[in-house]
A and B are shown apart, each in its own frame.
Chain A
Amino acid sequence: MTVSSPPVKLGKPSENYLNWAYGIKSWLLTTDHKRIGILYLISITAFFALGGVAAGLVRLDLLTPQGDLLTNDNYNKAFTLHGVIMVFFFLIPSIPATMGNFFIPIMIGAKDLAFPRLNLASWYVYMIGGLFTLSVVVLGGVDTGWTFYTPYSSTYANTAVILAAVGIFTAGFSSIFTAINFLVTIHKMRAPGLTWFRLPLFVWAHYATSIIILLGTPVLAITLLLVGVERLFRIGIFDPALGGDPILFQHLFWFYSHPAVYIMVLPSMGIISELITAFSRRRIFGYKAIALSSLAIALLGFLVWGHHMFVSGQSVYAGLVFSILTYFVAIPSAIKVFNWTATLYKGTIIYKTPMLYAMGFIGLFTIGGLTGLFLGAAAVDVHVTDTYFVVAHFHYVMVGATIMAYLGGLHFWWPKMTGRMYNESWGISSAILIFIGFNLTFLPQFVMGYMGMPRRYHVYPEEFQIYHVASTAGSTIMAVGYLLPLIYLTMSLFVGKKAEDNPWGAAGLEWTTSSPPPHDNFAETPIVTEEAYAYPETKTAEVPSGA
């Protein structure tokens, strides 16, 4: 039974990173990785809301086959804005910039990241990039799709392409700064006794993610620069009239954008490892397999970009090679799913909100991943490419998996970050609502995509309307589901029960320090002597009394 007690200050309030200093300057000029994580949390939530509004416009317009709500051009702008914001300003930074920033130093027993000022700079750069992109909304929008294919984007579009490119270019640097910080920190600032194979898998996941960011993002940057230069100075290198190859753009674009999807999903897999172990009270099954599979995904993920280009005009042999390599990259992901499932076996399952999200992740990621295999077969892809089948596939992995993990992690670590417990019943209800809404939104899209409904069209044959209506209905339920955490998590800041150091009884260095943590993370540098997830191997493990 939960009794929410009003916040009580008994004498001198305990020192933590939140009350260590007050005032707007102490936040806007902070170099504390925890505060920067909170800054990111707020900005990312705002961008998620904006991207959600764009999605709402798209789904509303698709209720009728004639596309009554938006003009053709405005529809293009709506789905472009949705894609650009969700990919570059929500999904890519989401977990690393919030929970990664907050917890990686704590998980390795350090006082901060290697470059705290670079960390703050990354947030400002992100905000500047965001500002450029927001200005696009009021300065004519951009209608190229988030993929910016040439020659439309480089020659023919008369929308704010350059402004959007600048915004994304800038956000890319924010990403790179975070990656450099994580890589150096994880290599050089681990506490005594914390060997590589004792690290939490959350850290491994972010390590692999940082490698991808480091090596992939600059290629996107130069590609966007080239599109901008081609628009501004009309020096075409993607211009077919000069012998330029528009497919070269696609090679350059997807060389980053495919690994980008692993940037989005790897951190979420890191969270799932944390949640599965904590809420089944078991050591992870196959620790090394999961750790090394993260690295394998990082490497293999760079070799498969051409599976976005099967019908683009690239050579058929290239298509063959990319198709085979795509099947290889599925293997490490599958290894993780098997290991998580094996971890659950004979565990003591605790059905709290974070666990519900984790279980949702495993199911939805499996569906998303399997449908990716369909798309990876070149022969199948020829039929379903650029249909709603693709749209459903990537939403299953990006939303069904990544956002579920994001919310799961947010709930798991909410007591640690804020010192407050959220309302568990609200949490469970929202998780279920989101799960139902999500599946109602995207499951029909597999069917209609297979039946031929193209993506990025808002005028469509009548036979697809029933699917679109179901999809829109689902998206409404999902939207409500996303709004609820915004409400009850915010409320918990004021009326939530004060959290103990370790409300879940979970293993991990972050649970050995106070909730919220002190400014320097630990009273004294921890010395690590055991492996990660050192839960007792008893069958009847104790259920904690938290919440």
Chain B
Amino acid sequence: MEQEHGTHHIVPVRIYLMVFGALMVLAALTVGASFINLGVFNNLIALAIAVTKAGLIMAFFMHLKYSSRLTWIVAGVGFFWLIIFFVITLGDYMARGSIPGMLGPQSVYNPWLN
């Protein structure tokens, strides 16, 4: 039987304060970054910052860092499954109309087709 250290572990307050500080900095960063034209990197940076913030909250506020691997898996599986959903579905939309002559009736047009 594995020991769930996370449930006993008491995280020191200064760790909470540091994480909180980091979160505020990241929030300011993400707002600031959207005011700079970085082309395709805007999206990447916004997502990266969001993922980092979420990661910090999960690791420290939600005690994931001090929890068992099973908890990590359960915590992460939803995001992983969503990514599968996004990738495959977006694949459909990105490939719509890509075979010439097979456009068919659709109300959503593929922006990659001129």
Contacts and interface: CB of A to CB of B under 8 A. Distances in A.
Q: Do any beta carbons of A and B sit within 8 angstroms of each other in the complex?
A: yes
Interface of A: 187, 215, 219, 240, 243-248, 251, 255, 302-303, 306, 313-318, 321
Interface residues of B, number: 23
A317 B112 CA distance: 15
A306 B84 CA distance: 13
Given A302-B84, A316-B99, A187 B70 contact: yes
A317 B98 contact: yes
B108 A245 contact: yes
15 contacts: A219-B85, A243-B107, A244-B107, A245-B106, A245-B108, A246-B107, A255-B89, A302-B81, A306-B92, A315-B92, A315-B98, A316-B99, A317-B92, A317-B98, A317-B99
B6 interface: no
A243 B92 CA distance: 16
Interface string B70-114: 100000011001001100110111111111001011111000000
A215 B88 contact: no
A215 B78 contact: yes
Interface of B: 70, 77-78, 81, 84-85, 88-89, 91-99, 102, 104-108
Contacts of B78: 215
B93 A315 contact: yes
B93 A215 contact: no
A321 B105 CA distance: 21
Contacts of B91: 315, 317-318, 321
A318 B97 CA distance: 11
Nearest to B78: A215
Contacts of B104: 313
Nearest to B97: A315
A255 B85 contact: yes
Given A247-B108, A248-B108, 19 more contacts: A187-B70, A215-B77, A219-B85, A240-B107, A243-B107, A243-B108, A244-B108, A246-B107, A247-B106, A251-B92, A306-B88, A314-B92, A315-B94, A315-B96, A317-B91, A317-B98, A317-B99, A318-B88, A318-B91
A104 to B, nearest CB: 18
Nearest to A151: B107
A313 B105 contact: yes
A240 to B, nearest CB: 4
B106 A318 contact: no
Given A187-B70, A315-B96, A316-B99, A303 B88 contact: yes
